[in-house]
Amino acid sequence: MPELQYTRFLLLLLLIPLLTGIFILAVYGKKSAAKKIGDPLLVKQLLTGYNARAYFQKFVILLLSFTFLVIVLANPRKAISEEKISRDGIDVMFAIDVSKSMLAQDIKPSRLDRAKQVLNRLIDKLDNDRIGIVIFAGKAYLQMPLTSDHSAAKMYLSAANTESVPTQGTVIGEALRICNNSFNNKEKKYKAIVLITDGEDHDKTALKVTEELAASGVAIYTVGIGSSQGAPLIDETTNEVKIDNEGNAVVTKLNESILKQIAQKANGAYFLFNNTDAVISGIQHEINSMDQRGVKDDSLMNYSSYFQYFLALAFILLIWELFISENKKRKKAISNLKPGLAVLCMVVALPAMAQQHPENANIKKGNEAYSKGNYKKATEYYEKALTINPNSPVAKFNLGNAKCRSGNNEEAISFYEAAFKVMDNPVDKSNALYNKAVIYQRENKLEECIDAYKKALRLDPLNEDARQNLQRALQLQKKQQQQKENKKKEQQQQKQQKQEPKQQPSKLTKEDAENKLKALSQQEKNLQDKLHKVNEVSTNKPAKDW
């Protein structure tokens, strides 16, 4: 949608009423001077060659020229990022299991840690693809919709843990269904799901859902993480081996069978995790062999300016005004020149119409390099644009994007801040703050991150991404504060235990001690008898919570 870059210059339009007032006073002054002559017939004869209408036309033309020049200063423009940059790729949804069985340590340091490592490195390999994330345990949730912002994808992935889903279990079918809902249902290809889990499926709908997805053109690549021998599950609260209701140690095993069936039914492939590089190269090869299509990316800012058209109109009107005469005889002579004059005006105006901001050519080249993943080359072009126009907000913002993608977070933040200072549009300012906040959130600087998100929302209340990320940052901050408080309480309890006086030796007689031991033995016997009767009556199966 077209917009004005420098809206402050529109204040100059307030001069139009002042200029109109001056014109009215001038007309009134001329009439007063004519009345002072006295004889109306004499005045009429004196003004025979005067064209009062031309005087009014000249004023209107000058007023229009002034208005067009003000618009030129305001720089009307349109964001061409709406056309979006396209590159060949597909849509890939990551479905990652965050159930407590993923804490098993048969894969060191844990299954979940290795799964996140695989997906993190896989993100770096899928430069041209859009990525989304679904996390699941006993329930499945869309963690991040499809986006080409791979930095944000890594941030969301790092935040995934066993506390992200309160209900325990492993509902693979529901996770696959949510992944499919994120795709464009009108397409019958260009869609893939990478499912990474230990396969302990407590949901029997997985294969049925897989068949539905295969029919809609989705390829599913499964990664089995764990071992067939299994490993005991460590309870997070006690840091001891988890025990089921029957008193047996909980052992979680990799279920390769279900994962192989899912991959086979959905025209994908199954990968057993034994080496990170091997799994990544295998999935990358499979995805790259799929049909590719243009993936749109609007993460860059670039504008096309239209000031030159208004400048040309103002110039034509000013030239036209020079040939409008208040003398009727001269007007007749000039009228013969009008056709040639129009051609002359167009020739003179053509350079102005062709004129563009000189830095735009470098910004455009930088955007092309950025879309191809060549962030170093993009940085060079944006820096060239800034040498031409050091106050270009577009060049500064895009340079911040390139620095961020190159891993130079501090420099990226400095360029977002510099762009913010020279931006006039509140939405642009909000985007600069949002990008800065994402970097802070990735570096776990929650106070700076939350402050930046809040400022971004004040400037653009419709920035839904900023709103959602702010909520996540606030939740994470609350969780960290709770952890600090719990740790502080534990330290205080340990300190109090050390300060407690040692237990004094018992002053009981030998006879009293024997009587108490007999009473305790009888109580224990009664309790065992009650438990034995309860176990005989109970027929409930032990519940799984991992």
**Long-range contact set of residues 6-12: C-beta below 8 Å, sequence gap at least 24:** 6/73, 6/74, 6/75, 6/424, 7/74, 7/424, 8/424, 9/70, 9/73, 9/74, 10/70, 10/74, 12/70, 12/73
Note the pLDDT of residue 505. Answer: 53
> What is the CATH code for 360-477?
1.25.40.10
Three state DSSP letters for 180-233: HHCCCCCCCCCEEEEEEECCCCCCCCHHHHHHHHHHCCEEEEEEECCCCCCEEC
The pLDDT tens digits along the chain (546 residues) read 677 877 888 899 999 999 898 888 887 877 776 666 655 665 565 556 566 677 788 888 989 999 999 998 888 887 665 444 555 678 999 999 998 888 888 888 889 999 999 999 999 888 778 899 999 988 899 988 888 888 888 888 888 888 888 787 788 999 999 999 988 877 777 899 999 998 876 567 889 999 999 998 999 999 999 888 888 877 766 777 877 777 788 888 888 889 999 999 998 999 999 888 899 999 999 988 887 665 555 455 666 778 888 888 888 988 888 877 766 555 444 444 444 444 444 444 444 444 455 677 888 888 888 878 888 898 999 898 888 888 888 888 988 888 888 888 889 899 999 989 988 888 888 888 988 988 888 888 888 999 998 998 888 887 777 888 888 888 888 888 888 888 888 888 777 776 655 555 555 566 666 776 777 777 766 666 665 554 454 444 344 556
Contacts of 140 (CB under 8 A, 6+ apart): 95, 134, 165, 171, 174, 175, 177, 178
Note the pLDDT of residue 461. Answer: 80
Note the pLDDT of residue 333. Answer: 45
Q: Where are the domains of the chain?
A: 3-82+306-354, 85-297, 360-477
Note the pLDDT of residue 354. Answer: 41
Note the pLDDT of residue 405. Answer: 85
- Rounded Cα distance between 111 and 546, Å, is 13
Q: Which pair of tokens denotes residue 254?
A: 């990799």
Dihedral (Cα; 414, 415, 416, 422), 10-degree rounding: 110
| Kind plus residue range of the DSSP H or E element containing 96 | strand 91-97
Assigned architecture for domain 85-297: 3-Layer(aba) Sandwich (3.40)
How would you classify the pairing of strands 130-136 and 140-147? Answer: antiparallel
Contacts of 169 (CB under 8 A, 6+ apart): 99, 137, 138, 139, 202, 203, 544
C-alpha separations of 224 from 86, 259, 264, 459 in Å: 34, 7, 14, 46
Cβ atoms 111, 100 nearer than 8 A: no
Note the pLDDT of residue 355. Answer: 43
Note the pLDDT of residue 210. Answer: 92
Note the pLDDT of residue 347. Answer: 40
pTM more than 0.85: no
Note the pLDDT of residue 274. Answer: 87
Note the pLDDT of residue 513. Answer: 67
Cβ atoms 96, 133 nearer than 8 A: yes
DSSP annotation string for 40-74: HHHHHHHTTTB-HHHHHHHHHHHHHHHHHHHHHHH
First to last CA, the chain: 51
